[in-house]
Amino acid sequence: MKNRIRFMFAWHKIVLNFKSFISSILVMTISLILIAFSLFFYHGTQYVENQYDHTLTKGMSRSGIFGFTSHPYRDYDIMNELYNSKEIESIGSTTLGGNDFECFSELRAIQSGNASDYVNSISGFLEILWINKTLLGFSELKLDTGNMITDQEINDGVMYMYLGSAYKDKVELGTIYEESNSKFQVQGFLERGSTWIDPDTINGIYVTDANNVLELENSVIVADDYIHVGGLFFSISDGTTRDEAVKAITDIADKHEREITVGFLDDMYKSENEDTRLLISYIVRIMAVVVFSSLVMISCLQIVAILNDRRTYGILYSIGANEKDIGAIIIYENIIRAIFSFLLCSIGILPIVHNWYGGDILWSPFKEIVLQKVLPVVFISLIPIAIISCLAPLIFLHRTTPSQLIGGKND
């Protein structure tokens, strides 16, 4: 029997036994959604960690935050001292803020023109990413043109600006903007694809936050020395251990009689998301149980369907079909079930992503997690589910004679 004919039989059987088909689809879809859910949880946490690790020059384990317990008065001294110590690679604060200087009108026009791409755009203001000069090495900021100056000495009161790639053909290198005794000079244009850590990280890192990293296409970076927030990011030098770095920081803080708290980003991430991570580890284990249970349930449903329809198989044998034909018909039915279940699962995962990250489905995590990691694994897991769940019915048919299937009297 040709495959086309076998498929036709399989499709026709599905149409005839539509209620049974729907039941098995529901079982399969729910199982797949649970598998997808588990995978999404797992990869969702990995996504956050990966975002930080890809952005941070030293990675999460060698980058941290130390916070002052009082207003950052005289903290320039501490910051400069730490920057000059061999244990610390980069240090400083970073924040996002709006600026309404008239001199920035040109930049504002360019930035607001691309507002749909610029997640943190503030209407009527130029959004500036303030970064201490001593912190510029915290992320791998690479310049397409220009010069990255990290010297902490202020030069003629000029603050250096680094513009995203969207400004490159529209603003000249070296352009100066002046207003209210402030002077800004464009010192360089960032390479396409540059990223920076979200300054809100200073308040915590959460698995449900997909906006941990800022893309800098439309950003305006101003490198300054002013400590904007009551905490500093830092990264440690190569060859320095975490304990040595902590000791260096606390020694300097003690020297200046300041009370501080010090923590590395990976530890912060783990402690802030301990419950979620524990839940995820259990969910991943439950996934294995779900896969096994779905195999059993689908096999049972298939056996019931075959028992209800055994007369048809007996007739097929009597007209010349063989075991290969019957087996192929059953497998084709399962493949059709699997395809429908996969499509329903793919739709079903969308509200999960939506609710996990809140608000709109953010394209980047959806594409990276769901399309590249979750759905391919779910699809591959369908193959054993579809094939293995056929085994019991096929064994039953193999062991039953055609006359038993048709169910004639034994006289």
Task: Spell out the SS3 assignment of 13-27.
Answer: HHHHCHHHHHHHHHH
Of the two residues 97 and 402, which places its CB atom closer to other proteins in the complex? 402
CB of 331 to other proteins, least distance (A): 17
Stretch that binds other proteins, among 216-224, 245-253, 315-323, 335-343 (CB under 8 A): 315-323
Q: In the window 282-311, what residues touch other proteins (CB under 8 A)?
A: 311
Of the two residues 181 and 401, which places its CB atom closer to other proteins in the complex? 401
Q: What is the DSSP string of 122-175?
A: -TTSEEEEEEEGGGGGGBT--EEEE------S-BTTEEEEEE-GGGTTTS-TT-
Q: Which of 212, 312, 381, 389 binds other proteins (CB under 8 A)?
A: 312
Q: Which of 193, 351, 358, 408 binds other proteins (CB under 8 A)?
A: 408
Of the two residues 358 and 408, which places its CB atom closer to other proteins in the complex? 408
Distance, CA of 124 to CA of 134 (rounded, Å): 30
Q: Which of 307, 315, 343, 347 binds other proteins (CB under 8 A)?
A: 315
Distance, CA of 6 to CA of 23 (rounded, Å): 23
Of the two residues 215 and 309, which places its CB atom closer to other proteins in the complex? 309
Of the two residues 124 and 320, which places its CB atom closer to other proteins in the complex? 320
Do the beta carbons of residue 118 and residue 218 sit within 8 Å? yes
Of the two residues 11 and 379, which places its CB atom closer to other proteins in the complex? 11
Contact characters 320-349, other proteins, x per CB under 8 A: xxxx-x------------------------
CB of 349 to other proteins, least distance (A): 36
Angle ∠(49,55,58) on CA atoms, nearest 5 = 85
**271 contacts other proteins (rule: CB under 8 A):** no
CB of 411 to other proteins, least distance (A): 5
Amino acid at 311: R
* C-alpha closest to that of 90 among 128, 49, 52, 132: 132
Distance, CA of 272 to CA of 65 (rounded, Å): 14
Of the two residues 11 and 356, which places its CB atom closer to other proteins in the complex? 11
Q: In the window 2-41, what residues touch other proteins (CB under 8 A)?
A: 2, 5, 12, 16
Alpha helical stretches, state H, 256-374: 265-272, 274-308, 310-318, 323-357, 363-365
Residue 372: other Cβ atoms inside 10 A:
11
Q: Which residues bind other proteins (CB under 8 A)?
A: 1-2, 5, 12, 16, 311-312, 314-323, 325, 398, 401-404, 406, 408-411
